[in-house]
Amino acid sequence: MTRSTDEGEDVSALSELRTISRHKGSAQEKALFRKERRRDNKAAYIFLAPWFVGVALITAGPMIASLYLSFTKYNLLQAPEWIGAGNFERMLTDQRLHQSLWVTFQYVIISVPLQLAMALALAIVLDRGLRGLSFYRSVYYLPSLLGTSVAIAVLWKQIFGGDGLVNLFLERFGIQGQSWIANPDTALGTLIILNVWTFGAPMVIFLAGLRQIPTMYYEAASVDGASRWRQFRSITMPLLTPIVFFNLVLQLIHAFQSFTQAFIISGGNGAPADSTLFYTLYLYNRGFANFDMGYASAMAWVLLVIIGAFTAINFWASKYWVFYDD
């Protein structure tokens, strides 16, 4: 009886020793894992350091300074003078600012849908497997690279001028043209056409999205007798809505920030009759032409709020029309 008890105690002690050994090994492994992770994190922070410095000095720093200046009267030559919400109150009676908002909203609301429609149409054409697809894709992408440049804006000014290519083309049909950029009724339209022409970037994204749609859906629809329009409406568009949403958000933000085209074509003042006075152009004039940097900073923050509001509305509305195949 005593021997059995001793053997039982030995087995229990051995089991306990093994358990302790296992716990010690587990603790050592955990400590080693934590040490390795700290070392990896340290290496990651070292590689990310330039980015953190850039964000602090180039992005966050200027934003904080701009927020402070938006509550001051500052002309770049004298020290900022705190005026509270004076700049924002002044916006309520600034007629040119109201005009710039009206022009910008027209530009965004008209040009962005047209640009996306053009991009999607060409993406569908290219998705049919044309010979030399990579060449056409590169050619169609070029406008997105060049469209916001000064050179293209100058060229656009020549094309729609009184003696430009548009009027030379119309003369062949006996139509007397005009200076399209000098007419308040058509000047903004030339800028809208220029933005629509820069369809390359969203087109490439649409093309990538089209390539991800399984062909079996179209094969099944063809067997059921669905027309091409029916296939586009019931298969292509629902499955492509995440791409449409992505392009819509990006192009809305880009359109609100448009500046170079209006600056070059209007001569920097929104001519004719403020018909091309984009919000960003008016902001530039207030800050760097009139040295009213406090007011310009306040305008910049209002633009940030407007873009943020449009983006938030798009995200809220996306749950009603964006389809995720999961």
Q: Enter the tokens of residue 201.
A: 């970037």
The contacts of residue 156 (CB under 8 Å, 6+ apart) are: 190, 194, 261, 264, 265
Q: Which two tokens stand for residue 220?
A: 């099944």
Measured CA to CA, the distance from residue 264 to residue 257 in angstroms comes to 15
Structure tokens at 229: 């329009």
What is the tens place of the pLDDT at every residue in 66-79? 999 999 999 988 99
Model pLDDT for residues 132-153, shown as the tens digit of each residue: 677 777 787 877 777 778 888 8
Q: Residues 300-307: contacts with CB within 8 Å, 24+ apart?
A: 300/66, 300/70, 301/66, 301/67, 301/70, 302/88, 302/91, 303/256, 303/279, 306/256, 307/252, 307/253, 307/256, 307/257
State the Cα–Cα distance between residues 5 and 54, nearest whole angstrom.
72
CA–CA gap between residue 36 and residue 210 (Å, rounded)? 43
The answer to whether 192 touches 265, Cβ cutoff 8 Å, is no
Mean pLDDT of 224-239: 91
Residue 50 in this model has a pLDDT that exceeds 50: yes
For the segment(s) 93-321, the CATH number from 3.40.50.1370, 1.20.210.10, 1.10.3720.10, 3.40.190.10 is 1.10.3720.10
Quote the mean pLDDT of the chain.
Answer: 87
User: Quick one: pLDDT at residue 24?
Assistant: 52
E strand map for the chain: 72-73, 81-82
Query: Residue 144's pLDDT is what?
Result: 78
d(CA 43, CA 120): 43
Residue 137: C-alpha distances to residues 47, 130, 142, 151, 246 (Å):
35, 10, 9, 22, 20
Question: CA dist 285 to 133, 217, 259, Å?
Answer: 44, 54, 11
Cα gap 206→137, rounded to integer Å: 12
Q: Which residue has the tokens 């894709």?
A: 137
Per-residue pLDDT averaged across 204-231, rounded?
Answer: 90
Give yes or no for residue 6 having a pLDDT over 60: no
Domain ranges of the chain: 2-69, 93-321
C-alpha–C-alpha distance, residues 234 and 244, integer Å: 15
Scan for tokens 């302790």, then name that residue.
20
If you average pLDDT over residues 176-197, what whole number do you get? Answer: 91
Looking at residue 72, the DSSP 8-state letter turns out to be E
Q: How far is CA 148 from the centre of its chain?
A: 14
The whole-number average pLDDT for the span 165-178 is 86
**What CA–CA distance (Å, rounded) separates 147 from 102?**
23
Residue 131 in tokens: 């010979």
Report the amino acid identity of residue 32: L
What's residue 136's pLDDT? 74
pLDDT above 70 coverage of the chain, percent: 89
